[in-house]
Amino acid sequence: MTVSKSVSKTKRRKIRFMFTADEAKSVRIAGDFNNWREDGKMLKRNGSDVWQITLMLPPGTYEYKFLVDGKWENDPLNDQLCLNCFGTRNNFIAV
């Protein structure tokens, strides 16, 4: 995940999320920014095993996870974790 620092704090910022999964058929992202919709944003394969998406997010803190072939996965590139209501952990990002 990378954060573009060229945009002012009052505007949306480009946030790129990446996930490596060489044998995945689909990778989606869900979180506070899309009401945890499991049919939400699909990442695009970039190369053989890297999936990525860039989202425009307003300032705030967001919890999220990846949905890889129907299975919830944490972001291995983001070590910021918090406990969720299911007793597992979500990643979070401050924009």
Question: Would you say residue 2 has pLDDT above 60?
Answer: no
Tens-place pLDDT, residues 24-74: 999 999 999 999 998 888 999 987 889 999 999 999 999 999 999 999 999
Task: Give the C-alpha separation, 13 to 80, whole Å.
Answer: 19
Cα angle 85, 40, 14; round to 5: 95
Please tell me the least confidently modeled range out of 2-6, 22-26, 53-57, 77-81. 2-6
Q: Which domain holds residue 15?
A: 2-94
- Tell me what pLDDT residue 7 has: 47
Task: Give the C-alpha separation, 89 to 95, whole Å.
Answer: 19
Q: What is the pTM of this model?
A: 0.84
Q: Residue 17: which pLDDT band, with cuts at 50, 70 and 90?
A: very high
Residue 35 CA from chain centroid, whole number? 13
CATH number at residue 62: 2.60.40.10
Say how many domains are in the chain: 1
